[in-house]
Amino acid sequence: MSLLKNTALIFGLAIGLNQVTYAQGFDKMDQKTLGKPVYSFVEQNQDFSNIEPSCPTYDACSNYNYHVKNYTLDIHRDDIFEVFATAHPKDIWAGDTKYKMTYNKSEDQVYHDVKAYHPPVETGMVLFLELKIIPLYKIPVVFELITIDLINGVIEFSYVKGNKSLGIQRISLVADGNQTKVIHETRFSSGSKFRDTKLYPFFHTKLIDGFYKNIVKFVKNKK
């Protein structure tokens, strides 16, 4: 049994086991599997039933800082949705941002084996990523999918409570022939003016640039 599981059980006995919920697959997680940043986040948030989005809707965080970047991708909008919905997260969250784990609220199930099956994404799924700031400094980034709207071309995911930054991201996809116009909007707040004005915009832009490059690469490799 992993150190994380032992710690969780001791914690559970201290407050009453009926108050702590362990997802299926929880006992198989360890620091080697998840990496230190995500492992530390999980240690501090062991009761997965308490995971909550910091912004349950986009408008709920309209007073947060705002970031927007537009993209034109040479792939059809439907292909982007298909990749986002069905590709293994490790294939689109790669590079400076690495996928580590998914928690599916509807199944109370953890998926953390990057070589194993991952179900199509759905609202209520929580993705755990590791973001490299500099080679020796990495942080966890954890968000919950709250909107997947194929008809209106909108995907939204909110940072969960406990992240370095709180907020929400909205991806709007507009078909333009065989191309897709992408508007990636983010509302964010860390409580630190320096972090919000000097650090977040730079690293966030780097993260989402890599995200869209991976999507395009994945689509082209399938053809």
Give the model's pLDDT for residue 24.
55
CB 157 within 8 A of CB 169: yes
Question: In this predicted structure, what is the pLDDT of residue 26?
Answer: 55
pTM: 0.84
CA neighbor of 163 nearest in space, from 111, 198, 126: 126
**Spatial CA neighbour of 22 closest among 51, 45, 48:** 48
Q: Which two tokens stand for residue 194?
A: 């320096």
CATH superfamily of 53-222: START domain (3.30.530.20)
Chunk the chain into consecutive blocks of 10 residues (it has 223) and report each block's average pLDDT, rounded to whole numbers: 40 34 55 83 83 96 97 93 90 90 90 82 94 86 95 95 94 94 97 92 91 91 76
Sign of the dihedral through C-alpha 148, 154, 159, 164: positive
Domain residue spans of the chain: 53-222
The pLDDT of residue 95 is: 86
For residue 153, the model assigns a pLDDT of 93
